[in-house]
Chains A and B, each alone.
Chain A
Amino acid sequence: MNPERYLSVESVGMTFESKKGSFVALTGIDLAVRKGEFVTLIGHSGCGKTTLLNLVAGLIRPTGGAILLADKHVDGPGPDRGVVFQNHSLLPWLTCFENVYLAVERVFKEEKSSLKNRTHAALDLVGLSHAEHKYPHEISGGMKQRVGIARALAIEPKVLLLDEPFGALDALTRATLQDELMRIVATTGATVVMVTHDVDESVLLSDRVVMMTNGPAAYIGEVLDVNLPRPRERLVLAHDARFMELRAAVLEFLYEKQARHGKVGASLKVA
């Protein structure tokens, strides 16, 4: 197994067929993720970054190319990939514990006490031991998302897939959860692919920022290496010249090279 290509997306294309004809969402996507690497996918909304994540998750099948995880062909969803959805997707009739247990019980064929221990450990990792027996509607949005992360990590996946996990949270909660995520990833050594539209988040968290062009037929425009040392401190980085530079590079890509022509067109129409 090539450790440089732990997760390997090989010339993947995705075309959706609809009544109005075919829509090319992604074309010629090549991406290799190292074991233990943290990669973010960033781009304007509608650029297909979530589509790419769903392809890796196996929720949809690519119409071209192939995806390999640890040399195994990705052919449908499976517990070797832990997915955290944007809107937490916890089952409202199960407690936090039961939500995580549902996943653990499916993946590990062990005794009940051992399964319970795994569930406790996962919730402990995200700092939610005290809320184990609460229902999702009894806890805050940030806590729900932590349970989602615990559920994804509890099954010890080969890769953790996060689809804009903090998009629906307020700025302060988001910052706390970003720090938490960095700590969790540092402890577990997880391989992570995360979709975001937050420039600061992408630079702060990742080892590489994968920037996607605007759709339709989106592809990977640029890949930015974030060679900032870890552990990273949000407050220190705020004044770090290297951080600023990286941040500027992403902004430049998004707002100059991939400026939304739609918006320009709209303003022209008004004029």
Chain B
Amino acid sequence: MAAVALAKERPRTVIPPSSPAHPAARRDIPPQPARVFRRPQPPEWFVTGVAWLAGLGAFVIAWTLVSKFGGRVPDPIAVGKAAAKIFADPFYSKGPNDQGIGWNVLSSLKRVGIGFGLAALVGIPLGFAVGRFRFLAGMAAPIIALLKPVSPLAWLPIGLLVFKAANPAAIYVIFVCSLWPMIVNTAVGVRQIPQDYLNVARVLNLSEWKVFTKILFPAVLPYMITGVRLSIGVAWLVIVAAEMLTGGVGIGFWVWDEWNNLKVEHIIIAIYTIGVVGLLLEQALVLLARRFTYES
């Protein structure tokens, strides 16, 4: 009885030895109950989940307060209702200026994809060259240092001037802003290749092709993926702004259009949609990076 009462008072403070001690050891040392004064920990996923919910809850409460006292911001319920209507039919098309949110997101992604793909095509080989040859690195340094801090949108007028159309100009802006992270990260990746690996290549007298496919490329790949991640992140930020300026079909243009229609619910829905798509892109690339990162 007493033991039961004690156990009830202080649960889990007395942990029985998990495996029997060696007989010889048991004779010398009397078995002592291990005293661990630590509360049982809930599993980590549970803590993370609760934290997530708490964060989101606090955010929704703050949002509700803002909509109550802050004038014309719609509250979460109104936005939820509007979202239900919009996502019920995301792929309708009533002419170029009135399309479902699905089409808008897809056309933005298409621009990002093309612009980014061209940037990778140019930036990765350039990055390899800049990383491998000191002179090229010296040549590239001032250009990159000068142009990297420029807002990609500043390039838009040049794009419009050269291409004389909105869509290629937007793609070109994406190209420009994706280019720098691709070059810089690939070059850093090339420069950090351990000398040991290059020594292996030298003592085995590997051909240039083998050196590239078996050593340079796999060693640089994680860095390249980081470059891709940064590029895509920036591109997704920039496309919204570029589309606001150029028009057409796209999530950025849609935001601007709904602002002109004064449908604030739709703007908030667009903000969340942009956020979710960006998050998915980022996570996909993080997974990809993990797949191609090797411990030595």
Contact = CB atoms under 8 A, between A and B. Distances in A.
B205 A91 contact: no
A93 B215 CA distance: 9
B9 to A, nearest CB: 48
Given A92-B295, A93-B294, A102 B214 contact: yes
A211 B187 CA distance: 43
Interface string A37-57: 000000000000000000001
Given A81-B203, A83-B203, A89-B199, A94 B214 contact: yes
Chain B interface main SS type: helix
B196 A85 contact: yes
A: interface residue count bin: 20 to 34
A102 B294 contact: no
Interface in B195-217: 196-197, 199-200, 202-207, 210, 214-215
B223 to A, nearest CB: 14
A50 to B, nearest CB: 12
A106 B205 contact: yes
Contact of B199 (A79, A81, A85, A106): A85
A77 interface: yes
B218 interface: yes
Contacts of B41: none
A137 interface: yes
Contacts, number: 54
B260 interface: no
Given A92-B296, A106-B210, A87 B196 contact: yes
Interface of A: 57-59, 77-79, 81-83, 85, 87, 89-94, 102-103, 106-107, 135-137, 155
A90 B214 CA distance: 12
Given A85-B196, A106-B205, A91 B214 contact: yes
Given A89-B199, A91-B197, A106 B204 contact: yes
Contacts of A82: 203
A107 B295 CA distance: 28
Contacts of B202: 59, 77
A137 B197 contact: no
A135 B218 CA distance: 14
21 contacts: A58-B203, A59-B199, A59-B203, A77-B203, A78-B205, A82-B203, A83-B203, A89-B196, A89-B197, A91-B197, A91-B214, A91-B215, A92-B294, A92-B296, A106-B204, A106-B205, A106-B206, A106-B207, A137-B295, A137-B296, A155-B204
